[in-house]
Chain A
């Protein structure tokens, strides 16, 4: 990812959990968020993953100029579909917090979510 986009990405992980299909969706959603952070954000991209028996959370933070979700054209599906939609379909959630100092994407997947729904 760093080689692809030229931004530094610092990844910190805490804890461990068995991978499930829903976790795969979490990984894909965070990949999309990291690409966005590198492309449109700026500075070092910080990625924090915390996994436990109860849930998995990933936070992706950049130091770019920020944006309004409402200002994103309707035909751009990266955030709506690949991040928010994907997390919802797999029983998780996504929140995006953006200010002039940067953007943080917060992804959360409860452990029970893998039973909530199957494939997307």
Chain B
């Protein structure tokens, strides 16, 4: 699960094009998404179930997998199970979770399985293209909703020195998450906080890492409880 974590720093956009596999159980959504993506993104495979997804990912070894959180098949684990089933490829293939779902439990589960980000399906073609390049380059992509989940799960108070660093967000990370939750793009966050976009990316990657590695039991408990609301 942690094999991709070190790669967030250096790489910018991959040279020319990005190879993508789309995993979603609705054919109409897949073709719509395909049509919306920029020409520099090549869709090299599609899948509608957990089994199909793992097979096509292992065969195609894409740069990025656009992965629906909810999928039929397998053991019922959906997107999380697809990532677990392709774990050997996590150093070269990045996963971007895509969902209409509000269930924090499911979203947190795919992120903790190794996804580099989460966006909602209302995202525009240009935005998703940007997100694909960002994830392919090793960065994390947080939608407002994921930022909100993070703030809710980790709390909105900054870390004390005494806290385990994985269990709390720093004051700066909180600021970045709040702005993303408010709908700010990375560029707008950078401008608002007088920092570079690269620094924003670094903060977001750090939060992703905490979300993936934090052992605090509250995270899972929180997500499970949130589902009941």
Q: Kindly list chain A residues whose C-beta atoms are within 8 Å of the C-beta of B183.
A: 10, 44, 46, 48, 59, 61
With a 10 A CB-CB cut-off, give which of A10, A14, A15 has the most chain B CB atoms. A14
- Size of the chain A interface, CB-CB below 8 angstroms: 15
- B181, A48: Cβ atoms under 8 Å? yes
A59 to B188, CA, bound (A): 15
Q: Kindly list chain B residues whose C-beta atoms are within 8 Å of the C-beta of A44.
A: 122, 183
Known: A46-B144, A50-B181. 10 other contacts (CB 8 A): A10-B122, A10-B145, A12-B148, A14-B152, A48-B183, A50-B156, A52-B156, A61-B182, A61-B183, A101-B188
A26 to B92, CA, bound (A): 47
Determine whether A17 belongs to the interface, using a CB cutoff of 8 Å to chain B.
no
Mask of A15-47 contacts with B, CB within 8 angstroms, 1/0:
100000000000000000000000000001010
- B148, A13: Cβ atoms under 8 Å? yes
- B156, A14: Cβ atoms under 8 Å? yes
Q: Kindly list chain B residues whose C-beta atoms are within 8 Å of the C-beta of A13.
A: 148
> Given the interface contacts A48-B144, A50-B151, A101-B188, does A12 sit within 8 Å of B181 by beta carbon?
yes
Q: Kindly list chain B residues whose C-beta atoms are within 8 Å of the C-beta of A8.
A: 122
A104 to B184, CA, bound (A): 10
A61 to B156, CA, bound (A): 21
> Given the interface contacts A48-B181, A101-B188, does A10 sit within 8 Å of B120 by beta carbon?
yes
CB distance from B146 to the nearest CB of A (A): 9
A48 to B149, CA, bound (A): 12
- B122, A15: Cβ atoms under 8 Å? no
CB distance from B117 to the nearest CB of A (A): 16
- B182, A46: Cβ atoms under 8 Å? yes
- B156, A104: Cβ atoms under 8 Å? no
Determine whether B210 belongs to the interface, using a CB cutoff of 8 Å to chain A.
no
User: B interface vs A, CB < 8 Å?
Assistant: 120, 122, 144-145, 147-148, 151-152, 156, 178, 181-184, 188
> Closest residue to A2 on the B side, CB-wise?
B122
Q: Kindly list chain A residues whose C-beta atoms are within 8 Å of the C-beta of B148.
A: 12-14, 48
A50 to B147, CA, bound (A): 12
> Given the interface contacts A10-B144, A15-B156, A101-B188, does A59 sit within 8 Å of B120 by beta carbon?
no
A48 to B147, CA, bound (A): 10
Q: Kindly list chain A residues whose C-beta atoms are within 8 Å of the C-beta of B156.
A: 14-15, 50, 52
> Given the interface contacts A10-B122, A46-B144, does A104 sit within 8 Å of B182 by beta carbon?
yes
Q: Kindly list chain A residues whose C-beta atoms are within 8 Å of the C-beta of B145.
A: 10, 12
- B151, A14: Cβ atoms under 8 Å? yes
CB distance from B108 to the nearest CB of A (A): 15
- A48, B122: Cβ atoms under 8 Å? no
A57 to B164, CA, bound (A): 28
CB distance from B201 to the nearest CB of A (A): 20
> Given the interface contacts A10-B120, A15-B152, does A50 sit within 8 Å of B178 by beta carbon?
yes
Q: Kindly list chain A residues whose C-beta atoms are within 8 Å of the C-beta of B151.
A: 14, 50
11 A-B residue pairs with Cβ-Cβ distance under 8 Å, sorted by A, are A8-B122, A14-B181, A15-B152, A15-B156, A46-B144, A48-B148, A48-B178, A48-B183, A50-B181, A101-B188, A104-B182
CB distance from B191 to the nearest CB of A (A): 10
Q: Kindly list chain B residues whose C-beta atoms are within 8 Å of the C-beta of A48.
A: 144, 148, 178, 181-183
